[in-house]
């Protein structure tokens, strides 16, 4: 019985394992479809845990949808530019591998988030201040993003070795992606759900521009 369970788990986690170990030419990332499944399920899982702070099932569901949405839509918006940048840099032939590298990194972020979810849940159980819950998630996302960077660096290593211009392509991707993802996260608020506010998919008046808000805040401080 134990060995059956073990083999089922091993089969299910083979993709996750390949994703996390990455690196080298021989260790190919999982195929597109399975990569997508691993990424989406990782995001859904963390999102559900993230949204359970107020113990409102609806908020947990919304947050579960929002995390894959955040990463997925931001990626789609930036891909046309990534293609053009690669082509202009003369890296068009490597484009499928570069996209693979980026999607593997996104998948790694999702899987690492899922791995951190139990810690978030434990923190939720021991924190009663909403602000601290927000900060805890900030730390989790930071850790996952750093793990994503490690995965990206690994997948990009053979590409950069073949053509150092891939460094520039990666930098262009990261700049645009971070710029878009920050705004995407702002638009999709709330992720955690302040228990003192009613549950909604979008916070009322949530649309707006993160950068304009930050500029106003800074200007208010000066």
Partner 1 sequence: MTLFRTVDDLLRGTHTRPEKLQKGEIDLDTGRLLTAVLLLGMTYGVFMGLYAVLRGGEGAIRQIGAATLKVPLLFVLTLVVTFPSLYVFSALAQSRLTFQMTLRLLLAAIAVNMALLASFGPVTGFFTLSTESYPFMIVLNVAFFTISGIVGLTFLRKTLAGVFEGAATGGQNVFRVWLVIYSVVGAQMGWILRPFIGDPHRPFELFRERQGNFFIAVWEAFWNLF
Cα–Cα distance measured from residue 88 to residue 75, given in angstroms and rounded to the nearest whole number: 20
Distance of closest approach, residue 163 Cβ to partner 1, in angstroms: 13
Q: What are the backbone angles phi and psi of residue 137, rounded to the nearest 5°?
A: -65, -35
Distance of closest approach, residue 128 Cβ to partner 1, in angstroms: 32
Nearer to partner 1, 7 or 209 (CB): 209
Nearer to partner 1, 145 or 168 (CB): 168
Distance of closest approach, residue 215 Cβ to partner 1, in angstroms: 5
Nearer to partner 1, 129 or 217 (CB): 217
**Burial label, 219 (beta-carbon count in 10 A; 0-12, 13-18, 19+):** exposed
Binding site for partner 1 (CB under 8 A): 73, 76-78, 80-81, 83-85, 87-88, 90, 92, 176, 179-180, 183-184, 186-187, 207-209, 211-212, 215-216, 218-219
Tokens for 155, please give them.
């997948």
Distance of closest approach, residue 204 Cβ to partner 1, in angstroms: 15
Distance of closest approach, residue 212 Cβ to partner 1, in angstroms: 5
Cα–Cα distance measured from residue 212 to residue 137, given in angstroms and rounded to the nearest whole number: 23
Contacts for 90-95 with beta carbons within 8 Å, 24 or more apart?
A: 90/163, 90/165, 91/159, 91/163, 91/165, 91/166, 91/169, 94/159, 94/162, 94/163, 94/166
**Look-up: residue for tokens 């972020």?**
109
Distance of closest approach, residue 178 Cβ to partner 1, in angstroms: 12
Nearer to partner 1, 58 or 99 (CB): 99
Burial track 139-165 (b if 16+ CB lie within 10 A, e otherwise): ebbebbbebbeebbebbbbebeeeeee
Nearer to partner 1, 132 or 215 (CB): 215
Burial track 52-61 (b if 16+ CB lie within 10 A, e otherwise): bbbeeeebbb
Cα–Cα distance measured from residue 185 to residue 56, given in angstroms and rounded to the nearest whole number: 21
Nearer to partner 1, 56 or 77 (CB): 77
Nearer to partner 1, 9 or 93 (CB): 93
Distance of closest approach, residue 219 Cβ to partner 1, in angstroms: 4
């Amino acid at each position: 019985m134990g060995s059956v369970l073990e083999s089922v788990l091993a089969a299910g986690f083979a993709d996750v394992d390949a994703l996390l170990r990455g690196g080298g030419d021989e260790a190919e990332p999982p195929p597109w479809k399975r990569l997508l499944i691993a990424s989406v399920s990782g995001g859904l899982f963390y999102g559900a845990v993230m949204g359970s702070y107020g113990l409102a099932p609806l908020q947990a569901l919304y947050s579960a949808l929002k995390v894959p949405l955040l990463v997925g839509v931001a990626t789609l918006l930036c891909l046309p530019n990534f293609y053009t940048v690669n082509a202009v840099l003369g890296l068009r032939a490597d484009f499928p591998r570069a996209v693979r590298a980026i999607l593997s990194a996104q998948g790694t972020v999702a899987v690492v988030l899922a791995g951190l979810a139990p810690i978030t849940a434990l923190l939720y159980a021991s924190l009663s201040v909403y602000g601290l819950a927000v900060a805890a998630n900030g730390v989790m996302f930071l850790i996952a993003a750093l793990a994503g960077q490690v995965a990206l660096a690994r997948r990009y290593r053979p590409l950069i070795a073949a053509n150092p211009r891939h460094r520039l392509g990666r930098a262009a991707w990261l700049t645009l992606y971070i710029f878009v993802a920050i705004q995407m996260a702002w638009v999709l608020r709330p992720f955690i759900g302040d228990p003192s506010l009613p549950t909604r998919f979008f916070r009322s008046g949530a649309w707006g521009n993160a950068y304009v808000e930050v500029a106003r805040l800074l200007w208010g401080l000066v």
